[in-house]
């Protein structure tokens, strides 16, 4: 058993790193990291995100696994993951292309018509199109069969009416991939159709959702008789369920293989380790041992998560798709993050003299404290993840 790159992987990783180092500085873990659910990006940040995507496109590093006919590099999914891991080591602009480059883009590659792909995919790769995913609604999130936002036929168009909420990137996205109800309420998931929606269309209102932090990451989007040409229907009428499953599968793949390496995983643990070490001198032997065991146990769990990501990548590298097992990474990642933040705040709020000058770190962990409930909800709640594990991996029966 090995845990090193093959010579080919190592060569690709090396060339990716060399190219990245020519364009970006290395990430400094001590820098303030806004996390995933911080706030709407500024105009400058949006422009920088598009610009970085454009740079990758021009350098031949955008869409590593996408077909060359759309501007991709035509390589494997494994290579795409390797590039993402390398990119995570550098200080990039906010990644506003994640949804487009991961689940939405791959779903379009699988399910969109040739003409749709020809018009939609290259603008994703060259940074000119930011996308959002229009799934959740105020009264239906985990249960997609309960979606109510409707699309009714009007000649060659569809009229979309309803609401979507908890939409990442919704305030500035150029396009959205939407699940809308085209069948009866009773038809549940068999009455859903998938549409591409131009987010600049007349009838769309975008409202920020103010979060517990006081800032807004998500948008609440109201569709008031928005017209969408039938050309932008993806797949069959009432046939969106398979597409939705495909999107969720790609989301799990990209989140599952990156969750252990992204900003909130390791760096916060490193910050925490620094705090624990610094608190040694002012701690009793008993509290020191207890605290260090808490930290060490988190280190062990975080390694489990890292190593699990390696196993997922191994699966992908052998040409297989990963499935519900990525729920494990999400469940474990959210739990570890919560425990890290708890221990850090225990220390930072303990009135220790050595932490008087740690205001920036305190703010960082307080933000994380408010952000972390979202980690157990976004992309499928922890309860949904446990049910996925139980029913799809352990094959336990569904409730009657």
Partner 1 sequence: MDLVYSDDDEVFRGKVRAILASWRPLDQILERSESECELLTALRRKVADCQSKWGGRAVLTSLRSIVSYEAGYGLAPLASLGSAIVHSLPEAARPSTASDSWNVAIVPEAEIGAASRSGALPARVKALGRPDDKAGTIVLGGEQAWIVIPGGIASIGPASGLDLVQGRQAAIVGEPGKATRLPEISARSLLHSAAIYIAFEQLGGAQRCLDGAVAYTTRRTAFRQPIGAFQSVKHQLADVYVEIELARSNAYRALASMDKSIAAEEPVEKMGAILARVSASDAYTAASKAFMHLQGAHGTVWLNEAHLHLRRARFLCDFFGSPDSWLDRIDLESAAWFDQYRDMEIPDAMR
Q: Give CA–CA dist 262/244, Å, rounded.
A: 25
Q: Is there binding between residue 253 and partner 1 (CB under 8 A)? A: no
Q: Give CA–CA dist 183/36, Å, rounded.
A: 35
Interface with partner 1 (CB under 8 A), residue from 307, 321, 346, 363: 307
Phi, psi dihedral angles at 393 (to 5 degrees): -105, -50
User: Interaction with partner 1 in 341-370: which residues (CB under 8 A)?
Assistant: none
CB of 348 to partner 1, least distance (A): 17
CB of 76 to partner 1, least distance (A): 12
| Token pair belonging to 292 | 């260090």
Q: Is there binding between residue 10 and partner 1 (CB under 8 A)? A: yes
- Residue 213 CB-density burial (10 A; 0-12 exposed, 13-18 middle, 19+ buried): middle
CB of 147 to partner 1, least distance (A): 22
CB of 278 to partner 1, least distance (A): 11
CB of 155 to partner 1, least distance (A): 46
Q: Is there binding between residue 284 and partner 1 (CB under 8 A)? A: no
Site stretch for partner 1 (CB under 8 A), options 65-73, 239-247, 350-358, 382-390: 382-390
Helix (H, G, I), strand (E, B) or coil at 57: helix
**Consecutive H or E run containing 357:** none
Interface with partner 1 (CB under 8 A), residue from 328, 341, 343, 348: 328
- Residue 95 near residue 138 (C-beta atoms within 8 A): no
Tell the residue number behind the tokens 């699940």, with chain if given: 179
- Residue 361 near residue 349 (C-beta atoms within 8 A): no
| Token pair belonging to 309 | 């990501």
Question: Is the C-alpha dihedral spanning 35, 37, 43, 49 positive or negative?
Answer: positive
Q: Give CA–CA dist 137/145, Å, rounded.
A: 11
Site stretch for partner 1 (CB under 8 A), options 36-44, 116-124, 133-141, 326-334: 326-334
Q: Is there binding between residue 278 and partner 1 (CB under 8 A)? A: no
Tell the residue number behind the tokens 């990291």, with chain if given: 33
Which string of x and - marks every residue 69-108 that binds partner 1 (by CB under 8 A)? ---------x------x---x-------------------
Question: Is the C-alpha dihedral spanning 46, 132, 118, 228 positive or negative?
Answer: negative
Q: Is there binding between residue 40 and partner 1 (CB under 8 A)? A: no
Q: Which is nearer to partner 1, 10 or 321 (CB)?
A: 10
CB of 337 to partner 1, least distance (A): 14
- Residue 63 near residue 70 (C-beta atoms within 8 A): yes
| Chain residues that interact with partner 1, rule: CB under 8 A | 1-6, 9-10, 13-14, 78, 85, 89, 261, 266, 269-270, 273-274, 276-277, 292-293, 295-297, 299-301, 303-308, 310-311, 313-315, 317-318, 325, 328, 331-332, 383, 385-387, 389-391, 393-400
């Amino acid at each position: 058993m090995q845990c090193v790159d093959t010579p080919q992987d190592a060569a690709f990783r090396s060339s990716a790193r060399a190219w990245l180092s020519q364009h970006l500085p290395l990430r400094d873990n001590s820098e303030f990291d806004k996390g995933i659910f911080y706030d709407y990006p500024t105009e400058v940040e949006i422009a920088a995100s598009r610009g970085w995507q454009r740079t990758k496109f021009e350098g031949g590093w955008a869409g590593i696994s996408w077909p060359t006919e759309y501007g991709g590099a035509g390589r494997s999914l494994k290579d795409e993951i390797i590039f993402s891991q390398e990119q995570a080591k550098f200080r990039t602009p906010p990644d506003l292309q994640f949804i487009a480059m991961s689940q939405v883009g791959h779903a379009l590659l699988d399910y969109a018509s040739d003409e749709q792909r020809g018009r939609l995919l290259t603008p994703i790769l060259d940074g000119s199109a930011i996308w959002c995913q229009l799934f959740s609604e105020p009264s239906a999130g985990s249960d997609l069969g309960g979606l109510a936002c409707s699309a009714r036929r009007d000649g060659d168009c569809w009229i979309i009416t309803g609401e979507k909420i908890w939409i990442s990137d919704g305030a500035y996205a150029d396009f959205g991939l939407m699940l809308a109800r085209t069948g009866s309420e009773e038809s549940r998931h068999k009455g859903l159709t998938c549409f591409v929606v131009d987010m600049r269309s007349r009838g769309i209102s975008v409202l920020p959702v103010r979060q517990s932090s006081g800032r807004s990451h998500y948008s609440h989007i109201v569709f008031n008789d928005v017209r969408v040409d039938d050309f932008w229907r993806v797949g069959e009428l009432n046939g969106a369920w398979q597409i939705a499953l495909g999107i969720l599968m790609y989301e799990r793949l990209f989140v599952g293989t990156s969750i252990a390496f992204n900003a909130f995983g390791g760096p916060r643990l490193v910050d925490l380790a620094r705090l624990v070490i610094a608190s040694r001198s002012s701690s009793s032997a008993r509290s020191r041992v207890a605290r260090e065991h808490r930290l060490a146990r988190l280190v062990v769990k975080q390694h489990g998560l890292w190593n699990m990501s390696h196993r997922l990548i191994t699966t992908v590298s052998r040409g297989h798709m990963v499935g519900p097992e990525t729920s494990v990474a999400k469940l474990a990642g959210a739990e570890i993050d919560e425990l890290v933040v708890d221990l850090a705040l225990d220390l930072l709020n303990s009135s220790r003299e050595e932490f008087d000058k740690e205001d920036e770190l305190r703010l960082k962990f307080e933000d994380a404290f408010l952000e972390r409930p979202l980690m157990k909800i976004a992309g499928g709640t922890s309860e949904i993840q446990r049910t996925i594990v139980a029913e799809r991996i352990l094959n336990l029966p569904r409730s009657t």
